[in-house]
């Protein structure tokens, strides 16, 4: 998908790329394949930000935690729990006391593809995963305000979460 749209975005001199990752990218018991895939997606996104930033194209990955989906419902079933009990147990480990919903993720995506997402990111962005656990800071850099033709490529990469609010 990214390959198909990047040529159009570079010609336009503007674009937005948003990938959905997971807090499992840093490791999750019993999910080595899923964790590796999500970590790879975050590396892919960061590389896109470095390569396409000079064209005013931002690339972001949303690292979501516990989101109420069919997948998490199936996990509850595999563990022999009701989905409601599974969500309640997960919510106890989240500082805001609730699990995320697909709408929470959608709101984050909506912001990242908007004009408002052009705001500067400090040299180091603190992230707050959707499961509410502290996350290490992720390097980010702001693009210069010079015209695109005179601007050096600088990465603007954020790993954000959309439901721990």
Q: Domains for the chain: give ranges and CATH numbers.
A: 2-160 (3.40.50.720)
At 91 the pLDDT is 93
- The residue ranges of DSSP E strands in 9-157, in sequence order, are 15-22, 57-64, 124-125, 138-139
Which residues, 6 or more positions from 155, have their beta carbon under 8 angstroms from its beta carbon?
46, 49, 50, 53, 139, 140, 141
Q: Of 14, 34, 44, 111, which is the active-site residue? A: 34
Q: Which residues of the chain have pLDDT under 70?
A: 119-165
Rounded to the nearest 10 degrees, how much is the dihedral formed by the CA atoms of 41, 35, 114, 135? -120
pLDDT of res. 48: 92
Helix (H, G, I), strand (E, B) or coil at 145: coil
Residues 22, 66 contacting (CB under 8 angstroms): no
**Confidence (pLDDT) at 43:** 92
Q: What's the pLDDT at 23?
A: 84
Q: Return the DSSP state at 43.
A: H
Size of the chain in residues: 165
The predicted pLDDT at position 126 comes to 34
Residue 165 in contact with residue 111, Cβ under 8 Å? no
Cβ-contact 106, 160 below 8 angstroms:
no
> Has 34 been annotated as catalytic?
yes
pLDDT at res. 67? 93
């Amino acid at each position: 998908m990214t390959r198909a749209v990047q040529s159009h975005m570079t010609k336009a001199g503007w674009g937005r790329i948003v990938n959905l990752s997971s807090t499992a990218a840093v490791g999750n018991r019993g999910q080595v394949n899923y964790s590796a895939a999500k970590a790879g997606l975050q590396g892919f996104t960061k590389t896109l930000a470095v390569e396409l930033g000079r064209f005013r194209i931002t690339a972001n990955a949303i690292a979501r935690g516990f989101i109420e989906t069919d997948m998490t419902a199936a996990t509850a079933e595999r563990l022999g729990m009701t989905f409601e009990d599974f969500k309640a147990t997960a919510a106890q480990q989240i500082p805001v006391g609730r699990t995320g919903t697909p709408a929470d993720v959608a709101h984050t995506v909506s912001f990242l593809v908007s004009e408002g997402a052009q705001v500067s990111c400090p040299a180091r962005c603190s992230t707050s995963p959707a499961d509410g656990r502290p996350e290490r800071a992720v390097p980010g850099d702001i693009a210069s305000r010079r015209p695109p033709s005179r601007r050096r490529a600088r990465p603007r990469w954020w790993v954000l979460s959309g439901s721990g609010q």
